[in-house]
Amino acid sequence: MKKISDWRLLSTEQISSRIFYVIVALSAVLFVLFWLIGYDMPYEEDPEYNAPLLTGVLVSFMIVLTIAAVALMTWGLIRSVRKNSDANRVVNNVPARRISLCVAGGFAAVMLLCFLLSDTTPLTINGERYADTFWLRTAGMFVGASLVMMVAAAAAVGFGATRYIRKK
Beta bridge partners of 42: 50
What pLDDT, in 10s, does the model give residues 96-109?
778 878 888 999 99
What pLDDT, in 10s, does the model give residues 129-143?
989 999 999 999 999
- Summarize the confidence of residues 50-61 as an average pLDDT: 88
Burial class of residue 76, CB neighbours in 10 A (0-12, 13-18, 19+): exposed
Confidence band of 24 (pLDDT split at 50, 70, 90): very high
Q: How far is CA 70 from the centre of its chain?
A: 9
CA-to-CA distance for 143 and 97, rounded, in angstroms? 29
Burial class of residue 59, CB neighbours in 10 A (0-12, 13-18, 19+): exposed
Res 1 pLDDT > 70? no
Q: Where is average pLDDT lowest: 19-23, 96-100, 144-148, 149-153?
A: 96-100
Is-contact 131 122, C-beta < 8 A? yes
Instruction: Record the pTM.
Output: 0.58
Q: Considering the chain, what is the average pLDDT of its residues?
A: 84
Of 3-17, 60-74, 92-106, give the range with the top mean pLDDT: 60-74
CA-to-CA distance for 12 and 19, rounded, in angstroms? 11
Cα-Cα-Cα-Cα torsion 73, 76, 80, 83, nearest 10 degrees, comes to 170
